[in-house]
């Protein structure tokens, strides 16, 4: 359900960009591969029933979904690890658009600490606790090598981080009070391989 909310949100934002003000549940469902009934059920769950003959108002739904997801505000985010992946993530425009602002960037490599990427100066991880509390940061993006991940996590938890987006291909040892979402990029390639195989069979 929560991941469908993100999908709805992206699609509604896209519709607004191209100037559409309303959408029917069946059209929205078709665009996302979800049944009409499922769309109506999801929206009814948070009190939206659409308007007869009009459908759903895109802007209203966008606001409502962002409120539910907690992205109706801007979240300050800490980035841990400023190697290639970390630098790529600092340049990633998609975060800012959805209400996430990387405000702190940390590393432990003396060759990287002190450098500036995308206008942010990299700070040593040792200084994390103080800065995270000062800026009331609760979300962190972990972009360190697998072998350093669990050590970094101890510092994050001690600093008061309660949500971690984990790019390190390793299971993190975390207290229950900390949420984690793992990014597994190979999973996306699997979906693609499946689609390519199926498409190949369909056109034979």
> Using the rule CB under 8 A, is 116 a contact of its own copies?
no
Q: What is residue 15's DSSP assignment? A: H
Given 87, 106, 113, 128, the residue binding its own copies (CB under 8 A): 87
> Using the rule CB under 8 A, is 194 a contact of its own copies?
yes
64 contacts 70 by C-beta, under 8 angstroms: no
**CA atoms within 13 A of residue 34's CA, in its CB half-sphere:** 20
Which one of the spans 9-17, 39-47, 48-56, 127-135 is the region binding its own copies (CB under 8 A)?
9-17
- The residues pairing with 100 across neighbouring beta strands, listed in sequence order, are 75
Q: Tell me the per-residue interface mask from 145 to 184 with its own copies, x by CB under 8 A, - otherwise.
A: -x---------------xxxx---x-x-----x-xxx-xx
Q: b/e map of 21-40 (b: 16 or more CB within 10 Å)?
A: ebbbbebbbeeeebeeeebb
Size, binding site for its own copies by CB under 8 A: 61
Tell me how far, at minimum, the Cβ of 63 lies from its own copies, in Å: 15
Question: Among 123, 146, 147, 145, which Cα is nearest to 135's?
Answer: 123
Which one of the spans 50-58, 108-116, 129-137, 196-204 is the region binding its own copies (CB under 8 A)?
196-204
> Using the rule CB under 8 A, is 100 a contact of its own copies?
yes
Backbone dihedral angles phi then psi of residue 82, each to the nearest 5 degrees: -120, 40
Provide the 10 A C-beta neighbour count for residue 180: 14
Which one of the spans 6-14, 104-112, 125-133, 148-156 is the region binding its own copies (CB under 8 A)?
6-14
Q: What part of residues 27-86 is at the interface with its own copies (CB under 8 A)?
A: 68-71, 75, 77, 83-85
Quick one: 47 or 70, whose CB is closer to its own copies? Answer: 70
Backbone dihedral angles phi then psi of residue 63, each to the nearest 5 degrees: -60, -45
104 contacts 79 by C-beta, under 8 angstroms: yes
How remote is the C-alpha of 80 from its chain's centroid?
A: 16
Given 37, 46, 91, 130, the residue binding its own copies (CB under 8 A): 91
Which residues sit at the interface with its own copies, rule CB under 8 A? 2-3, 5-7, 9-10, 14, 68-71, 75, 77, 83-85, 87-89, 91-95, 97-100, 138-139, 141, 146, 162-165, 169, 171, 177, 179-181, 183-197, 199-200, 203
């Amino acid at each position: 359900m929560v991941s469908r909310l993100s999908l709805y949100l992206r699609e509604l934002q896209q519709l607004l960009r191209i100037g559409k003000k309303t959408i029917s549940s069946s059209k929205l469902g078709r665009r996302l591969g979800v049944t009409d009934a499922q769309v109506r059920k999801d929206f009814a769950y948070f009190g939206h029933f659409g308007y007869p003959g009009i459908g759903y108002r895109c802007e209203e739904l966008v606001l409502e979904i962002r409120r539910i997801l907690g992205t109706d505000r801007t979240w300050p985010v800490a980035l841990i690890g400023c190697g290639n992946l970390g630098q790529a993530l600092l340049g990633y425009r998609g975060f800012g658009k959805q209400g996430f602002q990387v405000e702190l960037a940390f590393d432990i490599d003396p060759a990287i600490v002190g450098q500036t990427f995308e206008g942010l100066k990299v700070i040593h991880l040792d200084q994390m606790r103080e800065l995270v509390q000062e800026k009331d940061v609760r979300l962190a993006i972990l972009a360190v090598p697998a072998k350093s991940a669990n050590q970094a996590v101890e510092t994050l938890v001690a600093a008061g981080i309660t949500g971690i987006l984990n790019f390190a291909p390793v299971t993190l040892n975390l207290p229950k009070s900390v949420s984690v979402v793992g990014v597994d990029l190979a999973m996306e390639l699997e979906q693609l391989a499946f689609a390519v195989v199926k498409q190949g069979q369909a056109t034979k």
